[in-house]
Structure 1
Amino acid sequence: MKNKLVIIGMPGSGKTTIGKLVAEKTGKSFIDLDEFIVEWTKKTIPQLFEKGEDHFREIETRACMEIAKRKDLIVSTGGGVIKKPINIELLGDNGVIVFLDRPVDLIMADIIVQSRPLLKEGKEKLLALYEERYELYKKYADEIIANDRIIEEVCTDIIGIMNKYEMI
């Protein structure tokens, strides 16, 4: 039985915002993977990236191992969690993977690019990440939800998925 909802998607696609709202509406616990990593390591994400992306991805995988042990929760992931298939295996083992699909132009309108470690180079970097990751998001997703409309509709659709998989 699936007992975890795992939200994947591009940086700035709304994973954390929507994950928190869905958790609130369903009474489930919520974990933001990046926030979990910060609390766990006592370092910020940019500090961890200073040692290179590979270093960060190793820590991210160890965090996925910890979260995989937990039940009855909603997890928002970092945008690059899909770069290591083991992360998806761990999180998807007893979880439903939902790809929150937000068009790049809407992401650009929403986020402050400089606040994201991999997006310091701006729009070009975001487009490159989109090209690199989009097919992986689709490949690993059990369900795909478009996030190009009001947030309440997106939350309602995700709650519908939770009902479909008998998670609530």
Structure 2
Amino acid sequence: MILTGFMGSGKTTAGKRVAGVTGKEFIDLDHYIVEENGQSINSIFESQGESGFRQIEKEALKNVIGNTDAVISTGGGIITYEESRNLLKENRNHTVYFLSAPFDLLYERVKNDEGRPMLKNGYDSTKKLYDSRLKFYEETSHYQIDASLDVAEIETILLEMEGLGNS
């Protein structure tokens, strides 16, 4: 299972819950990148720019996508890089779920999080980013789930869609 969606959609929270119930490994791709590179996402953005980060992110996805016994949570911008989109679309190991919610709800959830470099330019810029990414989330996912639901409901939906019954 791979979870995609804009920042604040609950990929990490839902992913951890599903992994906990199923006994699968949970891989947060951003955390994996931090561990592998020894620096924060913000530091990577500052030193290598967004394009450098997206290349690192693609390599990280390549490294973990073969793990069939994992729940993988991606960063919100992974779908902006064509090679990463192709990895998601062409993978045979995981179903890709897009956790989708209205922009204002997602922005409200993350607006004060200083660890998110893509928020630095404020509401209008972040809204444009959201709008530009929607088509990519849709094209790379197998299913879309309403991320405005309570995380327990999202967990239940994911488990049912994976054929793992009730949590």
On whether the aligned pair clears a TM of 0.5, the verdict is yes
Q: How does 1:2-151 map to 2 (within 5 A)?
A: 5-50=1-46, 51-91=48-88, 92-111=91-110, 112-151=112-151
Task: Show structure 2 runs of 5+ residues with no match.
Answer: none
Residue type of the partner of 1:128? K
Give the length in aligned residue pairs. Answer: 161
Q: What percent identity do the matched residue pairs reach?
A: 37
Residue type of the partner of 1:67? V
CA change 1:137–1:23 in 2 (3 A) is same
Alpha carbons 1:102, 1:148 under 8 Å: kept: yes
The separation in 2 between residues aligned to 1:42 and 1:113, in whole angstroms, is 21
Q: How far did residue 49 of structure 1 move? A: 0.4
Deviates more, 1:28-37 or 1:100-109: 100-109
The separation in 1 between residues aligned to 2:39 and 2:113, in whole angstroms, is 20
Alpha carbons 1:98, 1:141 under 8 Å: kept: yes
The separation in 2 between residues aligned to 1:88 and 1:27, in whole angstroms, is 27
TM-score normalized with structure 1 length: 0.90
The separation in 1 between residues aligned to 2:24 and 2:55, in whole angstroms, is 28
Alpha carbons 2:13, 2:151 under 8 Å: kept: no
Alpha carbons 1:114, 1:122 under 8 Å: kept: no
Alpha carbons 1:113, 1:120 under 8 Å: kept: no
The separation in 2 between residues aligned to 1:54 and 1:142, in whole angstroms, is 26
> 2:159 matched to which residue of 1?
159
TM-score normalized with structure 2 length: 0.90
Alpha carbons 1:113, 1:122 under 8 Å: kept: no
Residue type of the partner of 1:32? D
Deviates more, 1:48-57 or 1:102-111: 102-111
